[in-house]
Amino acid sequence: MLKEERHKYILDQVHLHHRILLNDLSDALNVSIDTVRRDVKELHQEKKLKKVHGGATSFGFMTFSKDDGNIYLQSKKIQIAEKTVSLLSEGQVILMSGGTTNMEVAKLIPKKLPLTVFTPSLHVAMALLDHKDVEVIFLGGKLLHDAKFAVGGTVVNALSQLRVDLCILGTGYLDAVYGLTEFDWEVIQVKQAMIRAAKKTIILSVSDKLHSVQKYKTCDLTAVHTLVTELDPQDPLLDAFREFDLKLV
Amino acid sequence: MLKEERHKYILDQVHLHHRILLNDLSDALNVSIDTVRRDVKELHQEKKLKKVHGGATSFGFMTFSKDDGNIYLQSKKIQIAEKTVSLLSEGQVILMSGGTTNMEVAKLIPKKLPLTVFTPSLHVAMALLDHKDVEVIFLGGKLLHDAKFAVGGTVVNALSQLRVDLCILGTGYLDAVYGLTEFDWEVIQVKQAMIRAAKKTIILSVSDKLHSVQKYKTCDLTAVHTLVTELDPQDPLLDAFREFDLKLV
DNA sequence: GCAAAAACAGCAAGAACTTGCAAAAACCTA
DNA sequence: TAGGTTTTTGCAAGTTCTTGCTGTTTTTGC
């Protein structure tokens, strides 16, 4: 492999994930850690990226966000994603919905963690394909133009034939009384099928979305096993959810 | 072999693969490594390519454009895409494979043209979702990490239940004698199923890939109805394909 | 403050590059 | 066509670049 190719790969990865570990690079490129270190050093001197202890980051990382421009929201989502990733274990078969929070989870999954992931989200699938050890199966169907998410009978049908370890539901609206709600009927159908297909369901929610309700209901909180937020599990904001048989993380 | 011929070959290879090793060139051209080195040096001075340690890369190789950094190849693909789009008509149900050429087709489809498109390619699906009037159905299945393409029984099975107007096959290798070939067995299975599911099949190929053969065979040229290249339909390079009942565009 | 991980410096083998040169081929020009 | 000139090509020797390994120093997390 040419040095230029390695450099391109490294820069692509850094731009995609905002940060990258030298070990992962060494692994992905099949060269020694020293070589990668030297590559990153060069790119650092060329001001193409920023070298940090253990890896590298892109320059813009802390100054702007590709997503909604909201750095606070973004960092909350990353916190949630980190907590969620720590709940995963090797060899699991999981289901992931869409949403930006789930995107962060996809990016943060360790490169060497073997998993099988089913998802109807184009973005999540795309992000997961960077992970050589993750088998990605896309649940095909009619795609929603804005959400880049597959819905419809095909998806629900495929899900009805699955039995997976874990379902990770991203962005939704959450309320102790009304449960999990959404504004898109088609999405509801898919999420319900996802919950049915999984032994355990984890929902991810930034605290801003707690106690908010939308038009349609996905499920009651009793159907959920774990709720991950960026807050400390002891935070009083979560009190309303303690009455359920729910693990707060 | 003339120097000019070598130069053309080298440029073609660099444009096609974005990079090339001096050893491979020396091997393919049956000249010493020194000669190749001198050739590449010249081309470098003429700014036709970029010489790097161990080989050469095309310009634009280091850019981060989502597209294909290669200007020459890129413009050929756009020409092909334009011709292809002109073959489409309102209300058609079509199948699109992956590849960068098909990506260009997806981008160039008129925003107001109502179509239904089935595809197993993440990139094509993503590009099509920009078009509000195109209904996109993703053919789900196990995703190939590098090609971002769904393969396997699920896809083939779903395809077996389809009957569409048109199948647009992107990047493949084409030869008058050996027909359409690929290097990935799984992809072959999907492409064959796509051809079976369509009333008509269009294949897109940049002229560089004409007369080249890969390991596995997708189909004979008799299964194809239209061949779109960036060349003029009268170009002698296409003579080998005239014996077939094939529309050249 | 300690143990583990990461970074650094120096070294050696191998690959790639440069330079100079001579033989062969191609190209004039009479 | 013969003889001289230029270009092209391959070879060899020496140099530089790349890369993985070693041991040492620095940083990090507990």
Query: A133 is written with which tokens?
Result: 């050890």
The mean-pLDDT minimum among A165-174, B12-21, B77-86 falls in: B12-21
Angle between helix B71-85 and helix B100-108 axes, rounded to 10 deg? 50
Task: Name every residue in B having a CB less than 8 A away from some CB of A.
Answer: 19, 21, 52-55, 57, 61-62, 64, 120, 122, 125-126, 129, 132, 135-143, 145, 148, 150, 154-155, 158
C1' (D11) to CA (B5) span, angstroms: 24
Contact B142 A158 (CB under 8 A): no
Backbone Cα Rg of chain B: 19
The full DSSP string for A116-169 is EEEESBHHHHHHHTT-TTEEEEE--EEEETTTTEEESHHHHHHHHT--EEEEEE
**Long-range contacts at A85-92 (CB < 8 A, ≥ 24 apart):** A85/A109, A85/A110, A87/A202, A87/A226, A87/A228, A87/A249, A88/A113, A88/A115, A88/A166, A90/A114, A90/A115, A91/A115, A92/A116, A92/A165, A92/A166
The pLDDT of residue B63 is above 60: no
Q: Which residue is nearest to nucleotide D17 (CA to C1')?
A: B53
pLDDT at position A66 is: 39
CA-nearest of A173, A176, A182, A169 to A237 is A176
Backbone Cα Rg of chain A: 19
Residue with tokens 């290798």: B173
The full DSSP string for A179-230 is EEEES-HHHHHHHHHHHHHEEEEEEE--GGGBT---SEEEE-GGG-SEEE-S
Per the CB < 8 A criterion, the answer to whether B206 and B213 are in contact is no
Per the CB < 8 A criterion, the answer to whether B218 and B182 are in contact is yes
C1' (C1) to CA (A86) span, angstroms: 29
pLDDT at position B62 is: 53
CATH level 2 (architecture), domain A3-62: Orthogonal Bundle (1.10)
Number of neighbours of residue B110 by Cβ within 10 angstroms: 13
Measured distance CA(A98)–CA(A189) in Å, rounded: 14
Of B125, B141, B158, the CB nearest to A137: B141
Domain with CATH 1.10.10.10 in chain B: 3-57
The pLDDT of residue B69 is above 50: no
pLDDT at position B211 is: 80
Report the complex ipTM. 0.76
Nearest DNA or RNA nucleotide to B34 (CA to C1'): D10
Residue A34: is it exposed, middle or buried by C-beta count within 10 angstroms (0-12/13-18/19+)? exposed
Report percent pLDDT > 70 for chain B.
Answer: 95
CA-nearest of A222, A229, A215, A154 to A183 is A215
Per the CB < 8 A criterion, the answer to whether A180 and A218 are in contact is yes
Contact B141 A138 (CB under 8 A): yes
Domain with CATH 1.10.10.10 in chain A: 3-62
Of A4, A141, A145, the CB nearest to B61: A4
Number of neighbours of residue A244 by Cβ within 10 angstroms: 17
Nearest DNA or RNA nucleotide to A41 (CA to C1'): C7
What is the fold, at CATH topology level, of the domain defined by B3-57? Arc Repressor Mutant, subunit A (1.10.10)
Per-residue pLDDT tens for B149-205?
A: 999 999 999 999 999 999 999 977 898 888 999 989 999 999 999 999 999 999 999
- Domain at B71-248, CATH class: alpha beta
Per the CB < 8 A criterion, the answer to whether A119 and A141 are in contact is no
Q: Please list the alpha-helical segments (H only) found in A18-56.
A: 22-29, 33-45
Per the CB < 8 A criterion, the answer to whether B115 and B136 are in contact is no
Domain with CATH 3.40.50.10470 in chain B: 71-248
Of A11, A135, A143, the CB nearest to B138: A143
pLDDT at position A67 is: 41
SS3 call for B112: coil
Q: What average pLDDT does the segment A37-62 reach?
A: 87
- Using alpha carbons only, give the angle A136, A140, A142 rounded to the nearest 5 degrees: 145
Per-residue pLDDT tens for A2-38?
A: 999 999 999 988 888 888 999 999 999 999 999 999 9
Per-residue pLDDT tens for B2-36?
A: 888 999 899 988 888 888 999 999 999 999 999 99
